[in-house]
Structure 1
Amino acid sequence: MMSTTTNDIAPEDGRGWLRRAARVGYFARGLVYVIIGYFAFRAAFASGSALDTKDAIEVIAGAGFGSVLLVVTIVGLFAFAAWRVIQAIWDVDDHGSGFKGYGVRAGMIVSAIATTALALYAVTLLIGFGGGGGEGGGAKAGVIAYAYEQGYGIWLTYLIAAGIAAAAIAYFIKGVMAKFEDHMSIPQDKRWILKPVCQFGLIARSAVFVVIAGLLVKGAAGYTQDDTPGIHTALVEISSWSYGWLLLSLTGLGLIAFGISSFTEGTYRRIVLPDEA
């Protein structure tokens, strides 16, 4: 594991705010996934229903001091999206310009788009215009619905499914091989617990992505804006399998662990800015 760099711990360079914004972004993402994981775990024992990312934002909005927490979440999500763009364009994590590197960086751009869409949805809740519709709705679903109307929707669906499957593989490898440690400086006295938690979380998110990709391929012949699968659909699918309650509870715990891994990144990640890469 690499050591903390001087640049990462020196906010006096005048850009400490940018590093802090990136960290707030990781915490905002973590909060969303902790909420999703909690409700998935609870749903496994028939005491509620699974949620998606938009539902998680609605939970935040309805919490005590909801408006304040929602504002912080919105700022964090926009910050995380901006950080993803920086990571992708300037390659601050040194993924390289080969096929694999461009694939990882393209995934970061997709993540930035999805996070921006979620932040905008949170803004609509803040100003009182929020509506329903889970992760399967919104921009992604609208694009797919339009593509089907134009006659090439099935191919776009396959392409999206392939991208999600590739992301699933990347998360699985990152989790199994603990690749996240390449960019973090976790103290040794905390590493014994945080490393396996981060690994479990990444593998769980990989599993959810595999299910989403499979559902996309399975229904590619006729998806519309109203039924494009997302996290909620994947969790419902998992719950319908044999021993689904057990698998769903493990997935819920895994998504909570993924949220904790985001908190860990927000705390211990080395934030390298473009001219430092």
Structure 2
Amino acid sequence: MMNASSRLTILTRIGFATRGALYIAIAFLVIRTGQAEDPSGALRYLGEGGGRILLAVMALGLLAYGIWRLSDALLDIERHGTDRKGVAERLGAGASGIVHLFLTWQAIRLIQGVASSGQATEEGTQTALQLPGGTAIVVLGALILFGVGVFQLVRAVKGTFLRHLEPSIARQAWAQWCGRAGYAARGLIFIVSSYFLLRAGLEQRSSEAGGMAQAIAWLSPPVDVVVAVGLLGFGIFSLVEARFRVLHDVPVDSAVAKVTS
């Protein structure tokens, strides 16, 4: 009988597959229709085609993936280490966890028949600008997002993402180039999005902020299609990770035992 840690690991793999499906949908929409979307928009698109059962499965996967990423940030499950690079990777894992928990919430809302506004970036920026020191907060967020974009490009060049795969798959050229193209495309998207956010902060106008959909739409043809092909590669690589990524179990059972003892 599987314990809680094993069940979470299986659901996390579903989460990787869900992430892959979202990025493949984003790439498909750009390449075939010219429509720019972000993961939230792709979630709506897949939900319309697959119905509530598919959304429920995706929500479970996204929830598990989000928990797994947050656990990695807190407990260093992926063994990043305590140096500056390791701390940065754990912070990135935490941010990724929060994003995927937000996507889980959106999937649940879609199951309930409530569509999101599609303006989460703009709304979040508006909230930040209303806080004391709001401009500085938004500008700092833009700089962090720029750093994340650069980090993605570095990963694309160095191929460090391959260390998480089973060695036999990591050596395959097709897997390497799917990952490189995907991380490079994501890096470019994050850098463009950081520009939007920086402009929103400096001009104190939340309408200037934009996420992945706005970044893709901002790119001129054929650059947008090239980036979409890269995102397709990331989607395929995510599916590969769903099956062949080496996952370290989250110590769910021991944590529960400590709480209940």
CA distance in 2, matches of 1:194, 1:217: 34
Q: What residue is the counterpart of 2:249 in the other structure?
A: 273
1:191 paired residue among 169, 172, 176: 172
The residue aligned with 2:27 is 37
Bigger Cα displacement from structure 2, 47-56 vs 81-90:
47-56
Q: Is there any run of 5+ residues in structure 2 with no aligned partner, and where? A: 252-261
Q: Which amino acid aligns with 2:154?
A: I
Letter in 2 for 1:16: S
Q: Specify whether residues 189 and 175 from structure 1 end up closer, same or farther in structure 2 by C-alpha distance, changes over 3 A only.
A: closer
* 1:92 has 2:77 as partner: yes
SS at match of 1:131: coil
Letter paired with 2:29: F
Task: Look up the match of 1:258.
Answer: 234
1:27 aligns with 2:23: no
Q: In structure 1, what is the Cα distance between the partners aligned to 2:247 and 2:239?
A: 14
Partner SS, residue 220 of structure 1: helix
Structure 1 unmatched ranges of 5 or more: 1-10, 239-243
CA distance in 1, matches of 2:116, 2:189: 25
The answer for the alignment partner of 1:163 in structure 2 is 144
- Quote the Cα distance in structure 2 between the aligned partners of 1:187 and 1:228: 42
> 1:144-203: CA deviations, max 9, x gaps?
313322352221111111111121122112111111121111535971211111111111
Task: Indicate the SS of the match to 1:245.
Answer: coil
TM-score, with normalisation over the residues of structure 1?
Answer: 0.83
Return the offset for 1:93: 1.8
Deviations 1:29-84 (A, max 9, x none): 11111111211223xxxx44211222111111110x42111111111111110110
Pair 1:16–1:67, CA change in 2 (3 A) = same
Task: Confirm or deny that 1:60 pairs with 2:18.
Answer: no
CA RMSD of aligned residues (A): 2.1
Supply the AA of the counterpart residue of 2:189: V
The alignment status of 1:215 with 2:202, answered yes or no, reads no
Is 1:175 the counterpart of 2:156? The answer is yes
Contact 2:129 2:201 in 1 (8 A): no
Give 1:134 deviation, angstroms: 4.2
- Please, what TM-score do these two structures have when normalized by structure 2? 0.88
SS of aligned partner of 2:37: coil
Q: Tell whether the 8 Å contact from 1:197 to 1:257 is kept in structure 2 after alignment.
A: yes
Give the structure with the higher percent helix: 2
Counterpart of 1:23 in structure 2: which amino acid? R
Report the number of matched residues.
Answer: 251
